[in-house]
Amino acid sequence: MSDAAMRWQLAGEDGQTSLLEPPGGAVSPRRDLPSVEYLHVQAKRIISAVPPRSRMPFRYTINAYRGCTHACTYCFARPTHVFLGLDGGRDFERRIVVKVNAVERLRAELADPRWTGEHIAMGTNTDPYQPAEGRYRLTRGLVEALGAAGNPFSILTKSSMILRDLDVLQAAAARTAVRVNLSIGTLDEEAWRLSEPGTPPPARRLEAVRRLNEAGIECGVLVAPVLPGLSDGPGVVERTVAACLDAGAASVSAILLHLRPGVRELYMPWLEDVRPDLLDRYAELYARPGGYAPKADQEALTRRVHAAIERHPRPARPGRSWRTGLSAQAARGLPSAPRGGVTPLAAVPAQPALFP
Ligand code: SF4
């Protein structure tokens, strides 16, 4: 599909059918990073309501970016780029839509008397700390705005860039419930390099888990997705869980790969390229139309994570127990933010996929 057929409007351009508001200022697409194109748009609204039928444990989300240069092969959000008139493959990784007015919109929407101050989840579609955030600093501005309004929120990310914003996260956590989850699918070097080529190394993400918790920001880990044949080998999941607990994770959950339609068509050719020996296994595992692996496999993963948690030595951490999941925030009398589907120290079977 051509650019002219995109279902939104670039800031500074006229004459296209748009789901977003006409530009308030003249900001042009940037082409100043090699092979990555940033498409600036003006969002009409920035807080999105989750469809009522959704199984997500939150009702509102914010996504300042569409597309993600982290380029995970399995990314559940890839089909959302197709909705924009772009493709879910290379375009998703290299043509990043940036809602340049996200912070300004959020301030206005939080101040609207009709807004009831509900929890807002970030990182539910694409990664709020993907490399673009280093330049645009939209997530930082969103955290500042949510903190200033005392509006509870959570962030899910695969990036250690979140440590840049420790100061604003701490300021927000002093006023409202703040929850972070780092997504760390595996510590296996080869599986990581193959499947998440643009993400920071897992060890850096573990370090972020440790530093966030030490700074009083409740941070758990989503071991997700676990990739059959690539990151589910004997001891592989268990080592990841143990490392997360050692890093002080407030919770650990695992999710088995989900290959929804639109993702499957991109993932399987990749798999054929890198691990053709796994094709038959995947054909069997993901034979059902919805793209979920059989419940028995999901439950087996859950049991492995539970067992790894149970085997792990209990930490001696003053003021906090990862067995109870009691956080420093709870100890201060602030409510804990919803965990984005993460059960403290447990794996959640048949969990809807979250991003990143
Ligand atoms: S899974 Fe998350 S980090 Fe990876 S490409 Fe998708 S949005 Fe980005």
**Ligand 1, atom 2: nearest CA belongs to which residue?**
356
**Which residue from 351, 84, 92 is spatially nearest to 224, judged by alpha carbons?**
351
Beta strands in 100-206 (DSSP E): 120-122, 153-157, 178-183
Average pLDDT over residues 154-173: 98
Ligand 1 mutation target, pool 36, 66, 70, 181, most atoms within 8 A of CB: 70
pTM beyond 0.75: the answer is yes
Average pLDDT over every residue of 166-193: 97
| Displacement of CA 6 from its chain's centroid (Å) | 25
Distance CA 302, CA 235 (A): 14
Please, what CATH class does the domain formed by 3-331 belong to?
alpha beta
Q: Amino acid identity, residue 51?
A: P
Handedness of CA 75, 259, 189, 255 (dihedral sign): positive
What percentage of the chain carries pLDDT values higher than 90? 75
What average pLDDT does range 136-155 have in this prediction?
A: 98
The residue whose C-alpha atom lies closest to atom 1 belonging to ligand 1 is 356
- Express each pLDDT in 272-298 by its tens digit: 999 999 999 999 999 998 999 999 999
Q: Which atom of ligand 1 lies nearest, measured to the CA of 74?
A: 1
Q: At CA 89, angle to CA 30 and CA 14, rounded to 5?
A: 40
Closest CA to 327 of 249, 223, 254: 249
Residue 173 CA to ligand 1 centre (angstroms): 25
Cα of 72 vs centre of ligand 1, distance in Å, is 5
SS3 128: coil
Helices 138-149 and 166-173: angle between axes, nearest 10 degrees: 20
> Would the CB of 355 count as within 6 Å of ligand 1?
yes
Q: What is the pLDDT of residues 67-112, one digit of tens each?
A: 999 999 999 999 999 989 999 999 999 999 999 999 999 999 999 9
* Cα of 333 from ligand 1 centre, angstroms: 34
pLDDT on residue 53: 85
- Residue 196 CA: nearest ligand 1 atom is 4
Dihedral, CA atoms, 82, 53, 252, 274, nearest 10 degrees? Answer: -30
Cβ(255) – ligand 1 distance below 6 Å: no
Whether omega before 315 lies within 30 degrees of 0, making that bond cis, reads no
User: How far apart are the C-alpha atoms of 245 and 202, rounded to whole Å?
Assistant: 14
